[in-house]
Amino acid sequence: MSIFIPDSETKLYGLLGKTLSHSISPSLHNNGFRDLGLNAVYLMLETKEKNLEEYINSLKTLGFSGWNVTIPYKESIIPYLNGFSSLARASGAVNTVLNRRGRLTGYNTDVIGFQRQVEESGFAAKDKRAVV
């Protein structure tokens, strides 16, 4: 197995959260990048809430292409974004941020993932109520 060595063209991605030692996201993403031959790296981005704004500004300055957001920042990140998708707006939470030339856009892919799992299970959700 070869060692990945980032260069000036490497795309930067990561997982933003408070306590991330349990996460398998870097392993999953980095293995995927390698298997697809992509010059990209996925990093753990741990910070405290009091440093969130400064941390996000640093990610923009460093040129991160995007990052996933986990608890406890899915709601508190919203004021630092330039825009967000209709699903993020409706759910009031963001779990994915894309950085396009310094403009940060938030998305919520949790909703889509949940809907897909329900549909694939064969459960007919129409006209039903649920408690989560």
| pLDDT tens, position by position, 68-125 | 999 999 999 999 999 999 999 999 999 999 999 999 999 999 877 777 777 788 887 7
Give me the residues paired with residue 107 across strands.
96
In the set 11, 48, 60, 74, the catalytic residue is: 74
Q: Read off the pLDDT of each residue in 2-14 and give the average, rounded to a whole number.
A: 92
The first and second tokens of residue 9, run together, are 């063209």
Amino acid sitting at position 99? N
pTM of the entire structure? 0.85
The chain-wide mean pLDDT, for the chain, equals 92
114 vs 34 pLDDT, higher one: 34
Every domain of the chain and the residues it spans: 11-120
Q: How confident is the model at residue 1, as a pLDDT?
A: 60
- Report the Cα–Cα distance between both ends of the chain, in Å, rounded: 43
Give CATH superfamily name and number for 11-120: Leucine Dehydrogenase, chain A, domain 1 (3.40.50.10860)
| 11 belongs to the catalytic site | no
Q: How confident is the model at residue 66, as a pLDDT?
A: 98
In contact, 88 and 107? CB cutoff 8 Å: yes
